[in-house]
């Protein structure tokens, strides 16, 4: 028997096409770097599709899971509303993988960290609902990424990923304890958001407009946290996001495999 020198973290892939023709599974490099450089683990991309990835075999192999953000929204039929072209694209294969995977991680005590879409998947996995365009609710701000007056996405990543609003954390909660404060400031790049929390979803942080931004899964035996913001963007330099990835890394327990 040999012991792994580093824990392994599975990073979910997203279905997309290159040049409109070639089907691929992809994950953003910042997710990989956050896991490698801050959580101290080996990142391993897996197919976000039940036909490619067996959940049991995956969880026998990895020590933790990151459910990343993605361009696609969770399909509305997963939480009881009709789909609308305005809220596309969708990635139903990832839906089928991520919702079951979230529950399996919690059942087996394997750390799971949900980011943006991953945060929304955690909520839906436990029966919660989403609003397809959170900015349309009365009193809510526009949480989508900044755009130029022409409507094009702003070309400067420093502008896109800049901290844009405060999040108030629950006093005495898991996030407040982990981060050592009750107010943080975060980036914002999402349209869809949590409407009704799921059965085991505990709200831990709320934006100044009432949008849910931080959650944990009740009675999970290990790390099971989700954030609406993109914590993977700058944990090397951002103390809030660093603390989250360091805590995720500390929760990983490498399993033993045959040499």
- Is residue 159 included in any domain, yes or no? no
Which parts of 44-116 fold into alpha helices (H)?
A: 55-61, 92-108
User: DSSP letters along 165-194, please?
Assistant: EEEEEPTTSHHHHHHT-SEEEE----S-EE
Q: What is the CATH number of the domain that holds 234?
A: 3.40.50.880
pLDDT band at 167 (very low <50, low <70, confident <90, very high): very high
Q: Bigger pLDDT: 2 or 9?
A: 9
Q: What average pLDDT score do residues 11-17 get?
A: 89
- Determine, yes or no, domain membership for 163: no
Q: Mean pLDDT across the stretch 79-97?
A: 84
Range of the domain at 118: 2-134+191-257
Between the alpha carbon of residue 148 and those of residues 47, 179, 247, the distances in Å are 34, 34, 36
Whether residue 130 is contained in a domain is answered as: yes
Average pLDDT estimate for 138-160: 77
By the 8 A CB rule, do 101 and 111 touch? no
Question: Is 177 an annotated catalytic residue?
Answer: no
Share of the chain above pLDDT 90, in %: 66
In a domain, 79, yes or no: yes
Number of domains in the chain: 1
Could you tell me if residue 175 is inside a domain? no
Q: What residues contact residue 152 under an 8 Å CB cut-off, 6+ apart? A: none
Is the residue at 157 inside a domain?
no
Active site residue 230: yes
The pTM of this model reads: 0.92
Count of alpha carbons within 13 angstroms of residue 68, beta-carbon side: 29
Does residue 97 form part of some domain? yes
pLDDT at 258: 35
pLDDT-based confidence at 242, cuts 50/70/90?
very high
**Which residue in 116, 143, 204, 213 is the catalytic one?**
116
Token pair of 126 as six digits:
């436990």
Q: Given pLDDT bands bounded at 50, 70 and 90, which one contains residue 82?
A: confident
Whether residue 80 is contained in a domain is answered as yes
């Amino acid at each position: 028997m040999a012991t792994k020198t580093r824990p392994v973290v599975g990073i979910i892939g997203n279905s997309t096409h290159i040049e409109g023709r070639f089907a691929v599974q992809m994950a953003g490099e910042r997710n990989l770097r956050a896991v490698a450089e801050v959580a101290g683990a080996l990142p391993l991309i897996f197919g976000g599709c039940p036909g490619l990835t067996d959940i049991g075999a995956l969880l026998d192999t990895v020590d933790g899971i990151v459910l990343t953000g993605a361009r696609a929204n969770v399909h509305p039929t997963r939480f009881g509303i009709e789909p609308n072209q305005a809220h596309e694209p969708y990635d139903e294969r990832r839906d089928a993988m991520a919702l079951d995977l979230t529950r399996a991680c919690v059942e087996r005590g394997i750390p799971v960290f949900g980011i943006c879409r991953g945060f929304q998947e955690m909520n839906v996995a436990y029966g919660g609902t989403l609003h397809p365009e959170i900015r349309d609710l009365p009193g809510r701000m526009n949480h989508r990424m900044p755009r130029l007056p022409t409507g094009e996405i702003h070309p400067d990543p420093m502008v896109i990923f800049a901290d844009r609003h405060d999040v108030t954390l629950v006093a005495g909660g898991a996030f407040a304890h982990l981060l050592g404060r009750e107010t943080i400031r975060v980036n914002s790049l999402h349209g869809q958001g949590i409407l009704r929390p799921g059965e085991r979803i505990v709200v831990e942080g709320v934006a100044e407009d009432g949008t849910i931004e931080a959650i944990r899964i009740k009675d999970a035996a290990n790390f099971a946290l989700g954030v609406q913001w993109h914590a993977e963007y700058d944990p090397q330099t951002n103390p809030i996001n660093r603390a989250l990835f360091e805590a995720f890394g500390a929760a990983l327990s490498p399993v033993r495999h045959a040499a």
